[in-house]
Amino acid sequence: MIARRCASAALWVALSMALLPLEAGAVLRLAPADDRARRTYLLEDHGYFLPPLADINAPLSYMRLYRASPTRFTTPATGTHTFWDVGFGEEFFVIGLDNLWTDPETKRREPVPLQTRWRPGFSFFVDGDMHMLLDFDADSMAVIDSDFRIGGGLMGRGLPFLSEVGVATSHLSWRVKLLHESAHVGDEYLGDALDAQFAGDPAFADFRRVNVSYESAEIFWALDDEWAQLPGTVYGRVYAGYRRLLGSAWDADPRHGVLLEGAQNEGQVGLEGRWGVRKWLPFDFLIAATEVFFRKQYAYGTPLESPRLASVNSLVGVEWGDLMRDQMTFRAYLSFYDGLNPRGQFRAELLRYFGLTIAMDY
């Protein structure tokens, strides 16, 4: 309980900082007054492992609107409902260390100049995010779920202490992270379902409130590059990651009737691209991305004959600002999702939608 309260307090501090009024494209780096090179830095984002564009749980601020079938035990549970998925989050880089490089003129090992791209090094970071799901067509337009996540670890580019600017390993980035997540079912959703169950409605006979809470350890790798010789700068990245849940994401209390087998291993793979089009269009980049998230579908009551394993999220849209150069960005994009519902108690259910999203990343 104490750990959860501490996590919640830290999360709200993070979210409060994330909501500071900022202008799109503003450079957030706390740089020194001059351009002298140095190895160690505080509160700077060197763009080692940017939050993947198609990661449905990335720590950023966004609002997403989509139409889909209602979640199980929603009242009313008919027709197609309109959902609002909103989140607030951010990564905060605490302290980092750049690798040295060999100056081509002096042949000496020196700190990397401040404006150099693809700077190898590593940094300690913390992040936090909150996600809320609202069903406009449920009774009272209910908030049906809220998820809270907080984590931290190390991320970097290249091999710590070894890689230099311009070598092949400077295009390899990585992230090692510990994460805590807890989810809470919305009061109106829960109250309506329990009332219907108490009244003897057979459609609600097997309703259970399931508390999602777990810790996990993960490791991600990415390869990225940009090609300035093409018409407009093109940036591309591929990434992959593995996550091990250190406890069940669902309470193991047998009264909840939720099957947990094979649910502690998760994985993600994805690719994304940005195409600089400022010369021709009134925004900085066209963006496109797709990701496949591997995790086993849970079940109420009895085992599923064919549990769903892969969830796909794809998007295409536009972006203002340049996150790869430590600027705040604003995005607008269309997305298609097909897989397990990523929110709280509903991870036993399937979800498919076309959505419209606006997002900010600092």
- 14 and 126 Cβ atoms separated by less than 8 Å: yes
How far is Cα 129 from Cα 14, in angstroms, rounded to an integer?
8
Q: Is 25 a domain residue? A: no
**Beta 172-185 vs 213-227: how paired, if at all?**
antiparallel
Residue 35 located in a structural domain: no
Contacts of 71 (CB under 8 A, 6+ apart): 135, 144, 189, 341, 346, 349
Provide the pLDDT for residue 5: 44
Structural domain contains residue 325:
yes
pTM: 0.83
- Asked, for residue 74, whether it belongs to a domain, the answer is yes
CA dist., res. 221 & res. 238, Å (int): 9
Q: Is residue 76 part of a domain?
A: yes
In-domain check, residue 106: yes
Number of domains in the chain: 1
> How many CB atoms sit inside 10 A of residue 345's CB?
26
Residue pLDDT tens, the chain, 362 long: 444 444 444 444 344 434 434 344 443 333 443 444 568 888 888 888 989 999 999 999 999 999 999 998 888 888 899 999 999 999 999 999 988 887 777 777 777 776 677 889 999 999 999 999 999 998 888 899 999 999 999 999 999 888 888 888 989 999 999 999 988 888 888 888 888 888 888 888 878 887 788 899 999 999 999 888 778 889 999 999 999 988 776 655 555 556 665 578 899 999 999 999 988 888 899 999 999 999 988 776 667 778 888 999 999 999 998 766 666 889 999 999 999 999 988 888 899 999 999 998 87
Which CATH number goes with the domain that contains 62?
2.40.230.10
In a domain, 24, yes or no: no
Residue 147 lies in a domain: yes
CA distances from 113 to 98, 102, 190, 303 (A): 10, 11, 56, 58
Range of the domain at 96: 2-18+40-361
